[in-house]
Structure 1
């Protein structure tokens, strides 16, 4: 049925890991129904006792996640129970249940979770900066959606997503552990052989995003004493050979920004790479008196990296050490899942089969960092957002280049109506 399977038998190993990745994610959510792929992920294992069963009876773990680029299922347990694990996987993707009552219950639970998160200033700032930077492009939405967009997602929407994306030839399956290859293939033929191949894989072709506004968006949060500051530029895709350099540049920017603001404030920068592009985001939580300084310092850091003060050898080496430490920590926490993640990313993003993340980090030079900084930061000013008490901030922020925009209680996110023509991928 076209399902690629990667098997690494480890004779004598008492555990086994199954990872199935569907190579279509929340980027394909219908307009105005952000979070529907996350809701679809919830329906794969709708019974909450299933996770308890895997943990207690199979001595393993069940986890399902959804990103812009994929939907991922991770199942682990005793190797002696391998067939039971594959059966659970079959029930999720082949015999998926989308009953009205079940979908309604899961949607209500997801809406409640999102409502609790949406009250946080950090959530509002993250939502606003994505929308400000990418507009109605998929990366302008939160993968988990909002209470309003989730409430619009209905059973027919999930059935459409299932029929378009949940196919073996749009997936990759990995098994690592104490199961011989022949035994694994017998179980896969028995339980996944009936999984029907899709007629075509829906391509990720989206309408290109418009040029973002240059004014600073001020999201009003009356009474707030701490302000959330965001600066962002469009970044690079996961398959771009410069994305590692962009990641290291973000670490350098974070160090420089934090040094200017001092230890009393939290300031970070990160580069997130996706299938079709990415985001370099600077984030800070500061008081009202420091907000204008934070903006000015963040803009200065980005401008200097692109021209006047490129990354030094010492800064680049420190960033490499930080990135390698994070890499080694992920590997140490769960080496099997780390390896599976590397294999899956190679399949999802078209990376070389022998791609080595550590080698990619170590191979970045200062010339690479300067070239990529010019590529990311040299053409357009960063998009900016602040979430806080507008009455206290408006006068100070009006001094910023490009002025400010204060849409009242609006978070700056354009939420399309249900009748809006959706921008997701076209069928070939």
Structure 2
């Protein structure tokens, strides 16, 4: 990492010799457009446009000029590193949000030496490299940018503020303590002195149980993609009509013709601030039509993958779907009025029972999502933690050999480092940061 001399005479650090810039606010035109710069030339570029650097971290109103031409009257901020979002020198230009204004300023910046447009996620990548956040916080920030429901926002915000990072750091500290006890025991054995071998065993055993409990939590993918709710039952049970009623639009074709739905239709939906993914499926029956038969097989596969099955039939749901929500559909018809055998009476036509169904879905979904204060682990994080747990299990199984025990504990520490972005996972970073917009 290179040491950089800033325009104010102080030194800073940079992961590279160039300085990046990008529009970091919303789509244009807008009331205000924020252009960010990060890197060793941020101060020099700001001074070129504004004439002089303002007092650090205080907004100043200046006329921005390039080659003698006035570009805009804007608020500017000078943010010397390393105490910034990226850990580098940064500057911000709060411009009038017209397309021509922003284009003129970006053109002026592009003409400056060692300045270039940022790539997707590059600001956050620099923050990672400069230890301003770890990879779990970066992933949380990406989730926060994509959040569409309240629960997604809350969980992503907790991750972006270091919730999982603190939990992993606590595990790491406990493992380091256990490793130190083991190493001390090995040293004492070499000096013919006795050590309490149970202390590291107890610590590793308790930590293994705690980490396994974390792995058993609801996954982040369920929160990001939505709770999978599959509407299933025989032909003409009213599945498509119910899906349209829940979605509030004609998402599926609903007709009295048996077998209208021949494929699985997915509809994303938020209910009570919780993301759902509703599936309309083909009616279950034996059919000589090869196309319909394929639809029926897909319907059965969707049922098996459901988080919540909504069963529309007078007969009970298949045995492998214990816990399904049983619906008494089309309760507006004279011969089907009321509730039967504890089933929830619903009419897609009149709306009867729909609010009760929505409430029931929300209640079921809350048991399938992370609880308040819990970190939701994505696939990458789960894989690293599971690998660490595997090493700890090996350590406990070979506890009689202190050298092997210590080696597995050290390997577990390496796996934990990977959760936060250490341990040689450079090949994963492009995938993570490509989720970001250019200005992040």
| Category of TM-score, reference length = shorter chain | under 0.3
Q: TM-score, length-normalised on structure 2?
A: 0.24
Structure with the greater relative contact order (CA < 8 A, sep ≥ 6): 1 or 2? 1
Using the size of structure 1 for normalisation, the TM-score is 0.24
